[in-house]
Amino acid sequence: MSTIQSILNRTKDIRLLCGRLTNLSITKNITKPNFLCPQIGNQTKLLVAGFHSTTPRYDLMEFFDDKKNWAKNEVRSGRSWRLDELRIKSNSELHKLWYVLLKEKNMLLTMEHECNLEAELFPSPERVDKVQESMSNIETVVRERNKAYHLLETGRDGERPARMEANRLGIRYLYRTKEYFIPQKFNKNFRRRFFNEYHYDRDVQTFLRFYREKLFRLKTRAKNRDKNHVTKLMSRFPNLDRKLLEREYPHVDIKRIEFKDRARGHFAPKID
């Protein structure tokens, strides 16, 4: 009986509240953002700007470009966002801009995939690169702000700690630490991956020796290619700026190449 009585009391309270709400009058004088015009005589006019918004679409056409651009060979677009332009924006603006670029990226990738299926030319494919560059610049700006905040508050940059580790073949790589559900001393997979004896195996050491030799040969060949390229440039263009070559090829000895016969070229000196 007590439960039935409590339910009846609650229903009475709800009916009483609904009756009071219906008696309330809603005023139409809603405050809107406005600005005052200069006074004309003794009157002051209020101007309120009208609000306009586009109709939202919640269908699959959000993933496709405007239909007027489907048959075009080129679609004009602006450049990517620069770092100096993004640094002056607030965090909320960067957050909104990120999702605008993400939506644009999804649309462009969908159009590119559809053009490949239909064996048609995707117009202005550089738009994807511009969007990706803008998103990368936003990540750079956000990371800079996070580092500055953590350095100010804790004295650390706030980045995930990293250290050099070796894989099962003995090749070293940058390992970024992360949290595990199991402690390190009880995690068999972690100990098998980082604390084992295969790094000192004879086969692993033999592989590392040949691997380092291969890397050394590739590095030497790259240096020789750059040196031969600089030699040909100096032979074809004897008046080439030497400081520009030193900036482009810092590991090439420009002064030593100048004394070689191959760098002088085949041209007759001017006779005054």
Domain boundaries, the chain: 79-153, 201-272
Measured CA to CA, the distance from residue 161 to residue 157 in angstroms comes to 10
Q: Read off the pLDDT of residues 96-153 as tens digits, 9 standing for 90 and up.
A: 999 999 999 988 898 888 888 888 888 888 889 999 999 999 999 999 999 999 999 8
Crossing angle (nearest 10°) for helices 126-153 and 91-117: 150
Lowest mean pLDDT among 65-69, 184-188, 198-202: 198-202
- pTM given for the model: 0.53
* CB atoms closer than 10 angstroms to residue 246: 14
Q: What pLDDT does 229 receive?
A: 92
Measured CA to CA, the distance from residue 175 to residue 171 in angstroms comes to 12
Instruction: State the pLDDT confidence band at 172, using cuts at 50, 70 and 90.
Output: confident
| Tokens read off for 255 | 């002064």
Comparing CA positions, the residue from 134, 130, 114, 129 lying closest to residue 69 is 114
User: Is residue 266 predicted with pLDDT exceeding 80?
Assistant: no
- Return the CATH fold of 79-153: Helix Hairpins (1.10.287)
Answer for the pair 47, 35: CB distance below 8 angstroms, yes or no: yes
Q: What pLDDT does 84 receive?
A: 94
Q: Read off the pLDDT of residues 198-247 as tens digits, 9 standing for 90 and up.
A: 556 788 888 899 999 999 999 999 999 999 999 998 888 888 888 888 88
Q: What pLDDT does 135 receive?
A: 94
Measured CA to CA, the distance from residue 198 to residue 196 in angstroms comes to 6
User: Is residue 29 predicted with pLDDT exceeding 50?
Assistant: no
Rounded to 5 degrees, φ, ψ at 74 are -150, 135
Comparing CA positions, the residue from 118, 132, 129, 125 lying closest to residue 74 is 125
